[in-house]
Amino acid sequence: MQDTINQLIYTSLADLAEDFDIPGLENPDPETRLYGQKSVLDSMALVALVADLEGRVREAFGKDVILADERAMSRRLTPFARVGTLADYIEERLKEES
Amino acid sequence: MANSMLITGTSKGLGKAMADHYLAQGWQVAGCSRSDATIEHPDYQHYSLDVADEKAVTAMVREVHAAHGLDALINNAGIAAMNHLLLSSAGVARQIMETNVIGPFLFIREAAKLMQRSGGGRIVNFTTVAVPLDLEGEALYSASKAALESLTRVAARELGPMDILVNSIGPCPIPTDLTRQVPKEKLEALIDRQALKRAGTVEDVFPVVDFLISPKSAFITGQTLYLGGVFH
């Protein structure tokens, strides 16, 4: 599952990098920083990433997850910090939906 | 592919009339209400849900978008409770806010996520002349719709860069289920405060929605348009 989720994120980031002309997302890996200090995404790009990923997760797993909810926002460490933390968060939410 | 819209509150009244209107124009229409469908049409798909149910709303919007795309969202569903402020319960207040504010918020959020991926869209929220008229007996209804008007303006700013235009329409009283509970003399007094002194009809509303979802209104967002000659 984690591999599939990582691939979804990579694909989404590739589209995002093109749409928003964002450098530094050419070869993402789990350590790639997304949002927060030294991040590559601004808030508009994060909104676009979340929306795009929710759609891709639905297509891949047939489940509706809402990634930007109060649980994500209230965590001390945002799940949107890095590719790896985001993938973990998506996996967690998918398991809850099972 | 035909243009696709989602209208909330389509089981009766204005919502049903709008669904029929746009189906007749060849739109693909998805509608919802707490009750079962009252429209049978090959291009109509109905969802029985509570508009404040986050999961149900999310699933509906995503399903509609996946099947037909989503060009326009019409937030029409609403409830009212005509009562003196001193006789209104917290339970009714919560119910009104859930349906009239949380519901449209959820639909806007989910629709906008998908509209931005497909290059933009139109959102029309239904408010009421009770807001500018500060009508007695409608404190909670009016407050909920004032919140929706504010949501319209802020959403217009936040979603403008995504080419998603958000506007509101405030019809004056139209004989529907929502106004049936208002005493006749109250309705007449309300109409007397309009510059154009007659009850509204669904035909008064259609051209405004037509305009707000058409390419002709591409430079208009964050506006609330009241019908019948009512203004602040």
Name, in order, each residue with C-beta under 8 angstroms of B5's C-beta and a sequence gap of 6 or more: B22, B27, B28, B29, B30, B70, B71, B72, B73, B74, B213
Taking only the tens place, the pLDDT of each residue in A25-37 is 888 999 999 988 7
Which helix H or strand E contains B225, and what residues bound it?
strand B224-226
Nearest chain B Cα to A19, which residue? B117
For residue B109, give how far its alpha carbon lies from the nearest alpha carbon of chain A (Å). 10
How far apart are the C-alpha atoms of A78 and A89, rounded to whole Å?
Answer: 10
Of B54, B114, B161, nearest to A51 by CB-CB distance is B114
Least confident of A46-60, B4-18, B175-189: B175-189
Whole-number average pLDDT of chain B: 95
Name, in order, each residue with C-beta under 8 angstroms of B147's C-beta and a sequence gap of 6 or more: B97, B100, B101
User: In the annotation, is B141 catalytic?
Assistant: yes
- Six token digits for residue B94: 């919560």
Confidence of residue B1 (pLDDT cuts 50, 70, 90): low
SS3 of B72, please? strand
Q: Which has the closest alpha carbon to B60: B110, B22, B117?
A: B110
Nearest chain A Cα to B113, which residue? A51
Secondary structure (DSSP) of B113-172: HHHHHTT-EEEEEE--THHHHT-TT-HHHHHHHHHHHHHHHHHHHHHGGGTEEEEEEE--
What is the structure's pLDDT at B231?
92
Which helix H or strand E contains B7, and what residues bound it?
strand B4-8
Contact A51 B62 (CB under 8 A): no
Which helix H or strand E contains A93, and what residues bound it?
helix A83-97
Of B59, B62, B116, nearest to A48 by CB-CB distance is B116
Whole-number average pLDDT of chain A: 89
What is the structure's pLDDT at A19?
82
| Matching residue, tokens 């204005």 | B14
